[in-house]
Amino acid sequence: MLSSIAAFWLLHAPVLTVLLPTFTAILLLLLGDSQGLAESGHAGARLRWRRRLAMGSVLLGLFMALQLVLHAATGELLVYQLGEWPAPFGIVMVVDRLSALMVLLTYLVAVPVLWYATGGWDSRGRHFHALFQFQLMGLSGAFLTGDLFNLFVFFEVLLIASYVLLVHGQGRERFRMGVHYVVLNLAASGLFLIGLAMVYGVTGSLNMVDVGLRLNVLTGDSALLARGAALVLLVVFGLKAALVPLYFWLPGTYASASAPVAALFAIMTKVGVYSIIRVHWGIFGETAGEAAFAVRDWLLPMALATSLLGVLGALAARTLSRLVAYLTVSSVGTILAGVGLYSTGTLSAALYYTLHSTVVIAGLFLLVELMAAQRGDATDHLRPAVAVREPVLLGLMMVFGAASAAGLPPLPGFLGKLMILESSSGMAAQAWVWGVVLTVGFFTIVGLARAGVIVFWHVQPDGAPHAASGSSQKLLTAVWAFMAITVLMAVLASPVKRYTDATANQLADSAAYAKAVLGLEPGAGSNTTRPYDGVRPELVKKPKESP
């Protein structure tokens, strides 16, 4: 019985990972809205059941994501053909080491964030839990799809959910930033479609592996158009990831969102980073012929500028939430610097740093609200205010978060940056990478130290500490969870690094993807004597022999 269930799960794992939050969201919508429900009585019981259903779903999703990682660690590519239509004619979902890792990271963020939201935030707006599940559906689908158009579809799903989550709890500033956020992402979606049309126009396919093989044989104007499509897609993904000069929307947007929403959005920028890796490192990589490395001259300078401008914005921030938002931008720049160096070693280091930065940023957003709730009318503004009620506990949490974000030893932030520096040694851009990474780390320490001094030392002598809510211990548990994950990453640094090394090497093995997704033997897609035409030999009907 158990073996049958395990076999069924393994066979349908990619699609089940997407369907779980989908069906959970639909069920939550059928159960009705939880806005304004009291914590006690019949209404309180209904609210508690909604919370249990949502939390049970994300816990099950975390378990499923962990199983995906364990299976992906074996090196086997798990390909799921929707409707049993073979690629490239049908839509496929692919589980490799990278996609499994990103799904696991999504749920590692989602579980503590949802637990924090059940402390009261989920009842301040309509259908919070259903929207949260739709967000997870879009994130999981974006990471698991093997088709460029369906990457666009899942982008839209997660963006639509994020539009509503951004204004959750209402407020003038949230609505104002929400309008900017929607308009920019609609423009990016239009560009996304244009980029996909250009890719389809020159390759006749949108299957990621199939497109990569077809790019290999393009020449002349077709190759030039493919390079143009790569640049258009870089603009789209750069806006999603908050890459310079397209980062200006993020600080205000994330700072205006509620704490659990901003913490969940820490994984949103990583969807843009993932897409850049999947498209510009994989599809337009070294096997793309004349279209290979189409964005190499742009990506690294933009990444380094993003990292530097992000930390300068953090130094100038006047609120704690905006400071953390700018650190989000800076971390994206550091990650993409490793990606933009186009080596498996730097990519592996960038993936390790992605895990660390996402967890730390999410935890800092929650911690900022806990401190703001105890500072009276000053909230999270960096100005003198009443003393916080729990200065020792919150102070230690702030020190831990600052050390993690800045990359001080022995925390994983230090290990991740050290990996990036070590893997870039000997490269032409080594001086630039080392200079920016070390400078950003120093300024991060200065910015967070300045914020800590204002919050914990510059207090009004005649003010009384602001009373914390009754759910403070429950909310603190979510922050402790992120801290525990950070420590666990440091303890398990060696196996995690081995996994990211294997992930980078797997992404560089285009022949393995061609065989798993398209059923092509090595060399079938790049043989210059017989160019790949997108037709799988086993699907071609052989003519009948003459009698």
Whether 274 has a pLDDT exceeding 70, the answer reads: yes
What are the distances in angstroms from CA 296 to CA 191, 293, 344? 20, 5, 15
Q: How confident is residue 521, by pLDDT bands cut at 50, 70 and 90? A: low
User: What is the pLDDT at residue 177?
Assistant: 87
Residue-range definition of the domain harbouring residue 258: 12-520
Whether 311 has a pLDDT exceeding 70, the answer reads: yes
Is 107 within 8 Å of 65 (Cβ atoms)? yes
pLDDT tens profile 103-150: 999 999 999 999 999 888 888 878 899 999 999 999 999 999 999 999
Q: How many domains does the chain have?
A: 1
User: What is the pLDDT at residue 46?
Assistant: 78
Whether 26 has a pLDDT exceeding 80, the answer reads: yes
Among 94, 90, 92, 67, which residue's Cα sits nearest to residue 78?
94
pLDDT tens profile 35-44: 555 555 555 6
**Top-confidence residue, 162 or 519:** 162
| Helix, strand or coil, per DSSP, at residue 525 | coil
What are the distances in angstroms from CA 426 to CA 351, 420, 433, 435? 20, 12, 11, 14
Q: Which amino acid is at 267?
A: I
Tokens matching residue 304: 């380094």
pLDDT tens profile 328-358: 999 999 999 999 999 999 999 999 999 999 9
In a domain, 6, yes or no: no
Q: How confident is residue 154, by pLDDT bands cut at 50, 70 and 90? A: very high
Whether 513 has a pLDDT exceeding 60, the answer reads: yes
User: What is the pLDDT at residue 459?
Assistant: 78
Global confidence as pTM: 0.91
Q: Which of 39-53, 228-242, 447-461 has the lowest mean pLDDT?
A: 39-53
Q: Span 434-452, mean pLDDT?
A: 94
Whether 471 has a pLDDT exceeding 70, the answer reads: no
In a domain, 526, yes or no: no
**Top-confidence residue, 289 or 134:** 134
CA 249, CA 332: separation in Å to the nearest integer? Answer: 14
* Partners of 147 in the β-ladder: 207
| Helix, strand or coil, per DSSP, at residue 146 | coil
**Top-confidence residue, 385 or 523:** 385
User: What is the pLDDT at residue 35?
Assistant: 57
In a domain, 537, yes or no: no
CA 90, CA 84: separation in Å to the nearest integer? Answer: 8
In a domain, 260, yes or no: yes
pLDDT tens profile 363-376: 999 999 999 988 88
User: What is the pLDDT at residue 44?
Assistant: 67
Is 284 within 8 Å of 292 (Cβ atoms)? yes
CA 206, CA 198: separation in Å to the nearest integer? Answer: 10
Q: Span 306-314, mean pLDDT?
A: 95
Is 158 within 8 Å of 149 (Cβ atoms)? no
In a domain, 7, yes or no: no
In a domain, 109, yes or no: yes
In a domain, 543, yes or no: no
Q: Which amino acid is at 161?
A: A
Place of tokens 């290990």: 415
User: What is the pLDDT at residue 6?
Assistant: 67
Q: What H or E segment, with its residue span, contains residue 93?
A: strand 92-95
In a domain, 545, yes or no: no
